[in-house]
């Protein structure tokens, strides 16, 4: 009778033990509360606990393996892939350790930084691989400390490939993965979840299959939490291996590694590296079609699907680990056909949540970075803690400097040529800039027939929500109100609304109408006259690149523009218009004109000078209509402004 419903909230270690218990006044005093509305209840759990919970509930899951890319451009693409494949709901992803690529460094292509990006910027539960041979204890401890600092909580402990042809054990060094497992446990106690590799047909260098099983058992007994296997080609191979493991007392989860064959050459290379033998029946199919990539991939998908089905049907397999080779199509196809690719349109908050432990309590952000969430995470990465329920603080934490460089900070995913096609090979006037904005809004091709699918302030096409405002946005952009961010007002829609909903079900979400745009000083002058009529209703902040700031906001208080009311919870207000951070955003918003757009053109070229003129002379304006239950008045404000100008 006590606590009859399941808690729907996040379960931090302390609330897990307290929450469900019949609590006298004593026990509950140490309770920990959390403010963020969590949809799946597992955000704060350790990976091994999530795995166990999914196993207990019978809910099948999958995970995805990636390797670090070679170039910065490839890294930008990989991060987009994380976002897209993350949408399918992997339990975790893992990033391999690439010894030749300076894997622990701060390079944007290092294993460490890619894993960092996955966890912090893409919000994915992430395992970082780490190898130990040919490395000093100090190096390894350093890597682990860094991983911990970056918010990584899971390590795949591997021996790695010896560098010389004839590898010799190093006395007192790390010679086997088990040494690394022991080291992690002795230096970091229970902080990390540790994964180790299993070889369904035995490690190629092991004396025997049995000897290899014994090694595996050592790794587990040294403290590993679960096992991911090397790839294999027949479900029986795995199922026998699993049985053999259990027979010698290995009881932790064992996750089969699945390799959907995606091409003739990648298969050959992988087989060579892993010293596996491809079964004759597979070779027989592949050889005749070896030059037909599509055919091979189709076959690979078929093969993977049927093998995965056998594994899942066995009843002993609860999760599948995919070797993606950084590719999307085959793995996604297999997952969709298995029915375990689960795009969940529900969002715990209206913005993408980071998976860093430090950011767990984060439940409010300024609206300005709505289309650039990774930049926001980057610029706030040095913050010691995150506002717990309120954005405001007596002292406002500093944002990272704009000059800092980072992968996705001031950079577009698209190459220069594509951007030029979208934004104009040649600009002739401010109006040609207006046209680019208008085409982005309407989705219509520009006069050269190219669709504008991204803007410097938004690397993706228009959000579904913004589409609600399309008609009005088009109208004002044509006339030089260059919009970069907006949201409609919402007066209590269900939290499950497919477009504007977020948070747990049973709640209601609200928004104040918001509009942010660049515009000329001429329009600003008229706008300010019009705004006098709306003094109590509309809050505004108007700033130019030099920081001249015009506002009617009371003191420097944030204005909540998105909030939600949920059963049994405090109010959540995840988005605010914050006057202080607006000035940090202003720097970034203006810099994007130059860094992404002006620099596409030759110095001193007319096109570049037009962008430079806008940068120097335009204002960045944001408007909030506080009367959320009434019809949005911001369009009327702009109509009045245009009328005044005529």
Decide whether 325 or 528 has the Cβ nearer to its own copies: 528
In whole angstroms, the minimum distance from the beta carbon of 297 to its own copies comes to: 46
CA distance 567 to 306: 44
Concatenated DSSP letters of 392-426: --SSPPPPPPTT---TTTS--SS-HHHHHHHH-SS
The answer to whether residues 267 and 231 touch, using CB atoms and an 8 Å cutoff, is no
Q: And the tokens for 337?
A: 């056909």
CA distance 116 to 286: 38
Q: Which helix (H) or strand (E) holds 463?
A: none
Q: Which helix (H) or strand (E) holds 548?
A: none
β strands within 526-640, DSSP E:
538-544, 549-551, 559-565, 572-577, 619-625
In whole angstroms, the minimum distance from the beta carbon of 464 to its own copies comes to: 24
Q: And the tokens for 273?
A: 């590296």
In whole angstroms, the minimum distance from the beta carbon of 343 to its own copies comes to: 25
Query: Where does residue 113 rank: exposed (0-12), middle (13-18), buried (19+ CB within 10 A)?
Result: buried
Decide whether 314 or 548 has the Cβ nearer to its own copies: 548
The answer to whether residues 391 and 92 touch, using CB atoms and an 8 Å cutoff, is no
CA distance 224 to 192: 10
Q: Indicate the DSSP class of residue 315.
A: S
Query: Where does residue 406 rank: exposed (0-12), middle (13-18), buried (19+ CB within 10 A)?
Result: middle
User: Would residue 310 show up in a list of annotated catalytic residues for this protein?
Assistant: no
β strands within 144-290, DSSP E:
154-158, 193-198, 226-231, 254-258
CA distance 445 to 465: 21
* φ/ψ (deg, to 5) at 502: -165, 165
Decide whether 347 or 537 has the Cβ nearer to its own copies: 537
In whole angstroms, the minimum distance from the beta carbon of 568 to its own copies comes to: 5
* φ/ψ (deg, to 5) at 543: -145, 145
Classify 444 in phi/psi space as left (phi over 0), alpha (psi -120 to 50) or beta: beta
In whole angstroms, the minimum distance from the beta carbon of 590 to its own copies comes to: 12
In whole angstroms, the minimum distance from the beta carbon of 494 to its own copies comes to: 10
Which member of 65, 108, 362, 435 is catalytic?
65
CA distance 620 to 550: 10
In whole angstroms, the minimum distance from the beta carbon of 508 to its own copies comes to: 7
Decide whether 309 or 533 has the Cβ nearer to its own copies: 533
Q: And the tokens for 623?
A: 């408007």
Look at residues 53, 63, 41 and name the one whose alpha carbon lies nearest to residue 125: 63
In whole angstroms, the minimum distance from the beta carbon of 86 to its own copies comes to: 26
Buried b (16+ CB within 10 A) or exposed e, 607-627: bbebbbebbeebbbbbbbbbb
Decide whether 92 or 534 has the Cβ nearer to its own copies: 534
Q: Indicate the DSSP class of residue 60.
A: -
* φ/ψ (deg, to 5) at 57: -85, -5
SS (H, E, C) 179-207: HHHHHHHHHHCCCCEEEEEECCCCCCCCC
In whole angstroms, the minimum distance from the beta carbon of 544 to its own copies comes to: 11
Decide whether 271 or 528 has the Cβ nearer to its own copies: 528
Decide whether 16 or 217 has the Cβ nearer to its own copies: 16
Q: And the tokens for 309?
A: 């089905």
Decide whether 326 or 626 has the Cβ nearer to its own copies: 626
Q: And the tokens for 28?
A: 């509950």
Decide whether 32 or 292 has the Cβ nearer to its own copies: 32
Decide whether 142 or 392 has the Cβ nearer to its own copies: 392
CA distance 81 to 95: 13
In whole angstroms, the minimum distance from the beta carbon of 25 to its own copies comes to: 4
Decide whether 29 or 272 has the Cβ nearer to its own copies: 29
Q: Indicate the DSSP class of residue 126.
A: E
Q: Indicate the DSSP class of residue 91.
A: S
In whole angstroms, the minimum distance from the beta carbon of 10 to its own copies comes to: 8
Q: Which residues are catalytic?
A: 65
């Amino acid at each position: 009778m006590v606590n009859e419903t399941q808690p729907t909230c996040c379960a931090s270690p302390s609330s897990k033990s307290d929450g469900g218990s019949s609590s006298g006044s004593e026990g509950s005093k140490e309770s920990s509360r959390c403010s963020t509305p969590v949809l799946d209840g597992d955000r704060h759990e350790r990976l091994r606990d999530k795995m166990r919970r999914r196993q207990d509930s019978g809910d099948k899951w999958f995970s995805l393996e990636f390797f670090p890319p070679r170039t910065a451009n490839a890294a930008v693409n990989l991060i987009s892939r994380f976002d897209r494949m993350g949408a399918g709901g992997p339990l975790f992803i893992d990033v391999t350790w690439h010894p030749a690529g300076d894997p622990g460094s701060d390079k944007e292509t290092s294993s460490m930084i890619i894993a960092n990006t996955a966890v912090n910027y893409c919000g994915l539960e992430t395992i970082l691989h780490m190898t130990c041979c040919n490395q000093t204890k100090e190096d390894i401890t350093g890597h682990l400390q860094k991983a911990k600092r970056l918010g990584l909580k899971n390590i795949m402990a591997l021996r790695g490939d010896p560098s010389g042809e004839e590898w010799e054990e190093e006395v007192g060094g790390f010679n086997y993965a088990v040494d690394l497992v022991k080291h992690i446990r002795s230096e970091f106690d229970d902080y990390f979840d540790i994964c180790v590799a299993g070889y369904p047909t035995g490690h190629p260098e092991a004396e025997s299959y049995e000897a290899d099983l014994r090694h595996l058992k050592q790794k587990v007994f040294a403290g590993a939490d679960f096992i991911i296997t090397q790839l294999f080609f027949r479900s029986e191979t795995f199922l026998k291996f699993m049985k053999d493991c259990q027979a010698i007392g290995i009881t932790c989860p064992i996750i089969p590694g699945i390799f959907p064959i995606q091409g003739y050459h990648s298969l050959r290379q992988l087989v060579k590296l892993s010293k596996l033998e491809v079964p004759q029946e597979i070779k027989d199919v592949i050889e005749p079609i070896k030059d037909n990539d599509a055919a091979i991939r189709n076959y690979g998908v078929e093969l993977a699907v049927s093998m995965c089905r056998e594994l899942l049907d066995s009843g002993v397999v609860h999760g599948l680990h995919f070797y993606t080779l950084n590719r999307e199509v085959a793995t996604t196809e297999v997952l969709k056909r298995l029915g375990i690719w689960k795009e969940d349109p529900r969002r715990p908050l209206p913005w993408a949540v980071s998976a860093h432990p430090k950011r767990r309590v984060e439940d409010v952000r300024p609206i300005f970075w709505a289309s650039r969430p990774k930049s926001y995470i980057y610029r706030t990465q040095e913050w010691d803690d995150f506002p717990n329920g309120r954005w405001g603080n007596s002292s406002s934490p500093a944002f990272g400097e704009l000059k800092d460089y980072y992968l996705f900070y001031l950079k577009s995913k698209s190459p220069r040529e594509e951007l030029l096609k979208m934004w104009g090979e040649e600009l002739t006037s401010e109006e040609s800039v207006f046209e680019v904005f208008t085409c982005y809004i309407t989705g219509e091709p520009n006069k050269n027939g190219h669709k504008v699918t991204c803007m410097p302030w938004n690397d993706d096409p228009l959000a579904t929500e913004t589409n609600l405002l399309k008609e009005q946005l088009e109208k004002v952009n044509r006339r030089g109100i260059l919009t970069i961010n907006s949201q409609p007002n919402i007066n209590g829609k269900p939290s499950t609304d497919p477009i504007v909903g977020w948070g747990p079900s049973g709640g209601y979400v609200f928004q104040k109408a918001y509009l942010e745009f660049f515009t000329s000083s001429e329009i600003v002058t008229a706008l300010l006259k019009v705004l006098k009529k709306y003094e109590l209703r509309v809050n505004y902040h108007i700033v130019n690149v030099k920081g001249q700031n015009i506002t009617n906001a009371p003191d420097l208080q944030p204005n909540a523009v998105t909030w939600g009311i949920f059963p049994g919870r405090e109010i959540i207000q995840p988005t605010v218009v914050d006057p202080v951070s607006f000035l940090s955003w202003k720097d970034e918003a203006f810099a994007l004109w130059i860094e992404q757009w002006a620099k596409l053109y030759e110095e001193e070229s007319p096109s570049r000078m037009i962008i430079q003129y806008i940068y120097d002379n335009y204002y960045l304006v944001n408007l909030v209509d506080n009367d959320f239950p009434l019809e949005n008045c911001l369009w009327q404000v702009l109509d009045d402004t245009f009328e005044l100008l005529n």
